[in-house]
Amino acid sequence: MSRDDIVRAAPRDRWWRLQSRLVQMEGEMDEKSEAKNVADTQALLVQMCTDLHAQQIALREEQRISARERKSERRWNLAIKAVLIFAPVAAGAVFIANASGFSFGPFGDVVGVVHIKGEIAQGTLAGAEKVVPALEDAFSNPHVKQVVLAIDSPGGAPAEAERITNAISLLKKKYPKPVTAIIGNLGASAAYMTAMYADRIVAGKYSLVGSIGAIIAPWQLDKAIAQFHVSQRVYASGKLKAFLNPFTPFSQESDAKAQQLVSHVGTMFVQELAGQRGRRLKREVDYGTGEVWSGEEAVAIGLVDEIGSLETLARDFAYLKPYSFGPNESSAMRFASTVGQSMAKALVSISVVNFGSGLR
């Protein structure tokens, strides 16, 4: 090859070499780009997997929270339904239990308090029909360590008091527990007879105690109805069968019989007093006069053991708290009593208003 040929061929060789180099460089660039793309794709896939995993975790947490909220909501719905259903039932049960005299408790050791308040007569709260069951509940309850008779009564029927005292005597033998009678404002006649059967009697300084004896106080209306030319015919099998009839004149025989009856009952009362109080009584005192004494006087003559009240005796009960066993007025009776009192007050108010307007 001539020199000229070599000179002419040199540019073509450089071009081919350059072209080859460019192709080579393009191949290398394609390989690098492909590797970079693969790396980028892998990084993107890893990020997508990480995000997907995080989303799955968040979704499961959201589902768990939602399930817990639904469960809590169901519980609240059930609780509300239970309250709406059972609250009236429970209220009705409590009302019925209260109306029937049933009480809940006591919880823990207590002093059982039985109230004898008002006239001791059949059909009253202080009657044997009400008091005896309360005594039985108090004595038989294992949480009751002492029994208190809270007395505030003018007395009443001796037969009712006898039933109560018999119950106290029997229950003391069956359930040996200390019994204290606490007299409030008044503990007279049959009420004091009941107090005698306690182990000790406590009264306030200003309490009225005593009235030991018996009384019959019938009305005598025969002269009153005679003013209206009215009389009553009485046919009796014996001459004293109707001696307490207020519409027939009293005779000497009926007067004597009534006096003999009350004297006999009064004597029995005094004898019972001597049997229960014994050496605590004073020989020089006539207890059968029917008089009443203050609490301090009653202590001096042996009718009462000490001055005090339920509150002052609390120190003697140590850790024991008083718990009332009634008898209590039922809810129905309280409601009827409240309505009756309200109506009476309304009628009195109307009467006063009308009377006042008439004066004008």
* 76 vs 102, residue with greater confidence: 76
pLDDT at 328: 83
Residue % of the chain over a pLDDT of 70: 71
How does residue 332 score in pLDDT terms, banded at 50, 70 and 90? very low
Q: What is the CA radius of gyration of the chain?
A: 50
Q: Which helix (H) or strand (E) holds 201?
A: strand 200-203
Q: Kindly report, residue by residue over 226-274, the tens digit of the pLDDT.
A: 888 888 888 888 888 888 888 888 788 888 888 998 899 999 999 999 9
How does residue 352 score in pLDDT terms, banded at 50, 70 and 90? very low
pLDDT at 288: 93
Region 121-132 average pLDDT: 95
> Which residue type, as a one-letter code, is found at position 167?
A
How does residue 30 score in pLDDT terms, banded at 50, 70 and 90? low
* 23 vs 129, residue with greater confidence: 129
Per-domain residue ranges for the chain?
1-103, 107-211+291-326, 218-284, 328-360
The neighbour count for residue 219, using CB atoms within 10 Å, is 10
Region 328-341 average pLDDT: 52
- Whether the predicted pLDDT of 9 surpasses 70: no
Interatomic CA distance for residues 196 and 303, integer angstroms: 8
Interatomic CA distance for residues 89 and 96, integer angstroms: 10
pLDDT at 60: 82
What class, spelled out in words, does domain 107-211+291-326 have in CATH? alpha beta
- Of 184, 190, 196, 194, the C-alpha closest to 212 is 190
How does residue 353 score in pLDDT terms, banded at 50, 70 and 90? very low
Q: Kindly report, residue by residue over 98-118, the tens digit of the pLDDT.
A: 555 555 567 788 999 999 999
> Which residue type, as a one-letter code, is found at position 120?
I
- Whether the predicted pLDDT of 3 surpasses 60: no
Q: Kindly report, residue by residue over 142-177, the tens digit of the pLDDT.
A: 999 999 999 999 999 999 999 999 999 999 999 999
Region 60-67 average pLDDT: 81
Q: Which structure tokens are listed for 123? A: 């059909």
Distances (CA, A) of 51 to 47, 56, 57, 303: 6, 9, 10, 96
Q: Which structure tokens are listed for 86? A: 């059972």
Distances (CA, A) of 41 to 34, 301, 312: 10, 115, 94
